[in-house]
Amino acid sequence: MTDFVKPTIDYFELWPLLVVFGVACLGVVVEAFLPRTVRYTAQVVLALAGLVLALVGVVLVAQDVKTYEDGAARGVLAVGGTIAIDGPSLFIWGLVLALAIAGVLLFAERHLDGGVSAFAGQAAAVPGTDAETAAIAANREHTEVYPLMMFAVFGMMLFPAANDLLTMFVGLEVLSLPLYLLSGLARRRRLLSQEAALKYFLLGAFSSGFFLYGAALIYGYAGSMDFAAINEAVRNDVGSSSLLLIGTGLLSVGLLFKVGAVPFQAWTPDVYQGAPTPVVAFMAAGTKVAAFGAMLRLFYVALGADRWSWQPMLWIIAILSMFVGAVLAITQDDIKRLLAYSSVAHTGFILVGVLGLQAAGDLAADEITSLQAVLFYLATYAFATIGAFAVVSLVRDGGGETTALERWAGLGKESPVVAAVFAFFLLALAGIPLTAGFVGKLAVFSVALAAGAWPVVVAAIMASIIAVFLYVRVIKVMYFDEPVGDGPSVAYPSVLTATTIAVGAAITLVLGILPGPVLDLAAVAGEFIR
Amino acid sequence: MNLLSHSVLLPLAEGGASHAPVVAPDTAAGGVFDLLWLVIGLPLLGAFLLLGVAPFLRGSLKASVDKHGHLLGTATAVLSFVLSLVLFLSLLGRDAEERQVGQHLWTWFETGSLRVGMDLLYDPLAALFLLLITGVGSLIHVYAIGYMEHDPRRRRFFGYLNLFVAAMLTLILSANFVGLFLGWEGVGLASYLLIGFWQHKPSAAAAAKKAFVINRVGDIGLSLAIALMFATFGTTDFGGVSELAGEADQATLNALGLLLLLGACGKSAQVPLQAWLLDAMEGPTPVSALIHAATMVTAGVYLVVRSNFIYELTPVAQTAVVVVATVTLLWGAVLGCAKDDIKKALAGSTMSQIGYMMLAAGLGPVGYPFAIFHLLTHGFFKANMFLGAGSVMHGMNDDVDMRHYGALNKAMPVTFITFAMGYLAIIGFPGFSGFWSKDKIIESALADNLLVGLLALLGAGITAFYMTRLMLMTFFTSKRWEADVHPHESPKVMTVPLIVLAALSVLGGVLLLGDWIVTWLEPVTGHAEHHEPPLPAIVITLIITAVVALGVAAAWFLVGKREVPREAPQDVSFATRAARADLYGDAINDAVVVRPGVGLVGGLTAFDRGGVDGTVMGGAAALGGISTLLRRVQNGFVRSYALSLLGGALLVVLALLAVNLG
């Protein structure tokens, strides 16, 4: 055992992370000491300010970050080598922070449900009791959701930047635990929401166990938790390769669970359906971005030299995810469940990009790397998804949001703008040209093809066709089906949700027509530091 | 524009210039040549005013335009002719090697390395065409004033005529193949509109559609040829292509020649794309005279002669031209023998005469001037005869059946005399214009290939036969008029153009004086090495004249000496039946194209319904079924989910181990 060395902490580079963490802690204090009446304003302002400050920090760090000692990438290893602040980290941080800002705006929306937010008045009150009725009557609302969300954001930033297995595990848990809680805080249909939260927690804990066990096995193989050291061990082929393989498999389970890949997708539809829609919007976009960031780093940095052993596994998982997600989405009659399965299918598509890893030397000069393609896909997917869920929160009837697909019939007549925007997001998710989704799919397919994974690409294209069917089915319901009863009604949102939707749509459109700048940004992000 | 700049794309090999003269127009000629665009512009303006502006007028102004619009239409054509004449005289005043004048109007489009200018090229070839189109066109405009006098849509008719003239002039004056194609399609459109002018008649509408569809086939050939030209030479300018043609490989040149021939076949009604021309006679007679005799149908000949720099390099395509031409000249002649409809008989003759022109064009530089020469004389005498036929119809209550004519020479003296001039010209009566032009073609053909020459000679005999038959049935023999028909001479406005055209039919041969036309066209078609014909020229001329006399005599004995039945006899030989049925041209098209096409469409429809729709719907149903089955796994119990998670984890680990250690 070496002597304990006091870690040097690079405060400047860690600035975004520290701001988010600090704001989260400050939020707890606010919750404890400020009177109920001002908490909403205080928390929203605090969260937004913290996120914007962190985003500015990301931009500043990105401009300033130095070339790493290996000369190939830019970045620094902070806190004793446990956190890697490099191009991909910063790209994902920026993306997560942008999504978090949109998330705060959605969380803060109070126009849709008669002046209160989408969260339970008093989470501790058992559904159906007098206590709940009293809480509703008093127009109570939980403002703890903002600090919870900030902790989740902190986790989402730590997770993809973690440079050893333990830090990664910590990031995973910090990101997950607040989300479990948030999932159970719906104001309406509380039992469904609580059930979802409990399922999410149980299964999440279960999968975290696999991750931790995998980490232990890898430590047994490489003698270190550090990615660079693991990479070194894999290169030199030390120890038992079964330890490495089983460890890789178990680590993958934990990560694949988080992104909702088949066969670890079972929680997705139930949680997406039960959780409050703003939470789903934030979680569906943010978790996927963060978890794929972590997956890329684990597979590319720590296990990159061993890619021949994990690529076939990802081939199968990708194909399964695309097909099961798309096929199951076809028969869904709830819009949130449908979007959940669509997110499973998208996980498959992103995995197609992940498995497109090639050795640096095999890449043509102007070819985009698989890292770039996945980062771009994540950006396109995240904004279309958060926008789509934001639209879902607008369509309501007397009992709150109406997510039954049949109740969406006639939306095209009821509210042409909402229907058109939603149709646009669906087309983007389907990957129709002139939307961001198309460019994203093109990018991941082409890197996979370049890496020789043509069977996966063929399967992906077939799955895309099925996926188009399911999205167009929703458009058909909105525009061509006769409305049931009075038809859907669309709540008029405040500027908060409207901004989120508009920005999501604008980004989706711009990335579809002019993908260049963001692709360049992903290219400038460069490689992971190793 | 600098055509030489294209040589960057395909550098000339040393001494690799083509045989044909390079087109290199002088774009800075100035003077009257700056008005070149106006030749097209005038009729285009007329068409625009009559078709584009007039419909939006209201009240008395509209009535006045409807009443006098034809005068505007005629005036633009006449002015265009005057300008053409001035241009011709100016060109005549230049030295032979300077007789290529260009005008760059504007850049039409520029995309990638493709740059197409609105460029005009005025050279000896275009000059002759301009005179023919605007000259004969003006006469026909004048004639149509009388012919269409009682038609309520006369203004529109003249608008279409102007449109046609403008398009035809674009075709002729364009300095690149894309501009030529613009005109080519423009005349196609005008032809379609004018064949179907009497659209209330289903037969006219069907004929218009037929002409349009068959012409599409030819147009595919032309457009592919243009695309191939661009792909090979990087340009479609006559200048650029003529300069670089020698550099292309033989297969490309053959393909170019054959594709251009396909285009020419469509427009010029050559076998196998001949079937539309006889039906096109549904149009008003001035249209038949202008478009389907004198000008548009000769565009194919123009195309071949204009593309001489390609054909010179591809003997294969030249042979194809000769074969197509020979078949067509006989095919049309045979049709002419059996038709009782005066216009259809003339149409068959047109087809046959264009065959002669194509034949000459297929013979190379020896033939080009004679192709154009025959084209011009044919333009005179055939327009003359069509207008004459129109005049006859005018007097016979629009009856076209020659079996209802007879002995009209007294009733319509002017028409008879002028028609007779055209008749003597087409059969090649010594001294008349057709005599000179056809004689030259047959002589050249004999020198080139004995069989082709003999077939062309045979065609001359058949021509004499059917034209004499037509002449006898119409103007001689006994009166077979319908009861209420009182033939009368047509008004002056119709007979004056007839007289002018008759004079041209007689005198057209002067163009050959001192080989003028050969020398005149030399800058375009190149100098020809004359082969010696197998017999002295004078002997050939005598033989041709003898064959023609035979044809006339045969007609005299078979038609003139007998009683012509008012109804076409049905107990006729197979040959006659076949000829009456257009030599089964429609039946062949039906069997070869239409029925397989309909079958293919039917098959595709069935496949689309059964195969494609079945796959799609079946696929959707199958996916829905799988989806329903899979949904059962999603039962909501967290224990099942946990189990599937565990199972998944086991699978992942086992798969990893199996793949890597197995």
**CA angle at residue A285 from A282 to A291, to 5 degrees?**
115
Assign residue B378 a region (left: φ > 0; alpha: ψ between -120 and 50; beta: otherwise): alpha
Domain-located, residue B548: no
Task: Summarize pLDDT for A389-417 with one digit per residue, the tens.
Answer: 999 999 887 777 888 888 888 888 888 99
Residues B640, B599: one domain?
no
Mutate to test the interface with B, among A195, A199, A245, A344 (most CBs of B within 10 A): A245
Say if the Cβ atoms of B624 and A210 lie within 8 Å: no
Environment class of residue B489 by beta-carbon count within 10 Å: exposed (0-12), middle (13-18) or buried (19+)?
A: middle
Task: Summarize pLDDT for B80-134 with one digit per residue, the tens.
Answer: 999 999 999 999 888 888 888 888 888 888 877 778 888 999 999 999 999 999 9
Contact list in B for residue A250 (CB cut-off 8 A) is 649, 653
Share of chain A above pLDDT 90, in %: 58
Residues B519, B608: one domain?
no
- At B126 the pLDDT is 93
Residues B300, B187: one domain?
yes
For chain A, the C-alpha Rg in angstroms (whole number) is 22
- At A364 the pLDDT is 65
Contact list in B for residue A249 (CB cut-off 8 A) is 649, 652-653, 655-657
Residues B394, B471: one domain?
yes
- At B662 the pLDDT is 66
Domain-located, residue B574: no
- At A470 the pLDDT is 87
What average pLDDT does the segment B488-492 reach?
A: 86
- At A433 the pLDDT is 85
- At B7 the pLDDT is 37
Residues B621, B490: one domain?
no
Backbone angles phi, psi at B428, to 5 degrees: 90, 40
Share of chain A above pLDDT 70, in %: 97
Does residue B8 carry a pLDDT above 50? Answer: no
* A210–chain B Cβ distance below 8 A for any pair: yes
Mutate to test the interface with B, among A331, A336, A470 (most CBs of B within 10 A): A331
Residues B594, B638: one domain?
no
**DSSP string for A360-372:** GGGS-TTPPPHHH
Residues A35, A208: Cα–Cα separation, whole Å: 38
B135-138: Cβ within 8 A, 24+ apart: B135/B81, B135/B84, B136/B290, B136/B294, B136/B295, B136/B379, B136/B380, B136/B383, B136/B501, B137/B77, B137/B80, B137/B81, B137/B161, B137/B165, B137/B290, B137/B295, B138/B74, B138/B77, B138/B78, B138/B80, B138/B81
Residues B505, B603: one domain?
no
Share of chain B above pLDDT 90, in %: 46
Q: At what angle do helices B413-427 and B450-475 cross, to 10 degrees?
A: 170
Mutate to test the interface with A, among B627, B651, B654 (most CBs of A within 10 A): B627
Residues B414, B293: one domain?
yes
Task: Summarize pLDDT for A300-359 with one digit per residue, the tens.
Answer: 999 888 888 888 899 999 999 999 999 999 888 899 999 999 999 999 999 999 998 876
Nearest to A357 by CA among A220, A450, A423, A487: A450
Does residue B618 carry a pLDDT above 90? Answer: no
Say if the Cβ atoms of B653 and A330 lie within 8 Å: no
What average pLDDT does the segment A143-147 reach?
A: 93
* Average pLDDT for chain A: 89
Domain that residue B612 falls in: 587-629
Count how many domains chain B has.
Answer: 3
Residue B13's pLDDT band (boundaries 50, 70, 90)?
A: very low
Domain-located, residue B655: yes
- Residue B637 distance to chain A (closest CA, Å): 9
Among B231-235, B512-516, B569-573, B642-646, the least confident range: B569-573
Domain-located, residue B69: yes
- At B536 the pLDDT is 84
Whether the ω angle into residue A35 lies within 30 degrees of 0, i.e. cis, is no
Domain-located, residue B580: no
Neighbours of A327 (CB within 10 A): 26
Partnered with residue A84 across adjacent β-strands are A77
Name the DSSP class of B325.
H
Does residue B531 carry a pLDDT above 90? Answer: no
Say if the Cβ atoms of B620 and A270 lie within 8 Å: no
Q: Which residues contact B155 (CB under 8 A, 6 or more apart)?
A: B50, B54, B65, B66, B69, B70, B73
* Residue of chain B nearest A197, judged by CA positions: B638
Domain-located, residue B541: no
- At B9 the pLDDT is 37
**DSSP string for B49-86:** IIIIIGGG--HHHHHHHHHHHHHHHHHHHHHHHHHHHH
A57-71, A466-480, B550-564: which has the highest mean pLDDT? A466-480
Domain-located, residue B657: yes
Partnered with residue B126 across adjacent β-strands are none
Task: Summarize pLDDT for A366-385 with one digit per residue, the tens.
Answer: 677 888 899 999 999 999 99
- At A93 the pLDDT is 95
ipTM of the complex model? 0.89
Among A156-170, A243-257, B463-477, B530-544, the least confident range: B530-544
Nearest to A372 by CA among A76, A162, A92, A78: A92
* Average pLDDT for chain B: 87
Residues B189, B282: one domain?
yes
- Residue A309 distance to chain B (closest CA, Å): 6
* C-alpha separations of A82 from A93, A309, A345 in Å: 17, 26, 33
Domain-located, residue B533: no
Residues B623, B637: one domain?
no
Residue B554 parent element (H or E):
helix B537-555
Closest partner CB to A330 (pick from B623, B647, B648): B623
Task: Summarize pLDDT for A282-303 with one digit per residue, the tens.
Answer: 999 999 999 999 999 999 999 8
* A198–chain B Cβ distance below 8 A for any pair: yes
Residues B236, B152: one domain?
yes
Closest partner CB to B649 (pick from A199, A253, A328): A253
Among B4-18, B63-77, B113-127, the least confident range: B4-18
Among A131-140, A368-377, B266-275, the least confident range: A131-140
Residues B329, B344: one domain?
yes
Say if the Cβ atoms of A246 and B636 lie within 8 Å: no
pTM for the predicted model, two decimal places: 0.62
* A249–chain B Cβ distance below 8 A for any pair: yes
Backbone angles phi, psi at B633, to 5 degrees: -65, -30
Query: Helix, strand or coil for residue A22?
Result: helix
- At A360 the pLDDT is 64
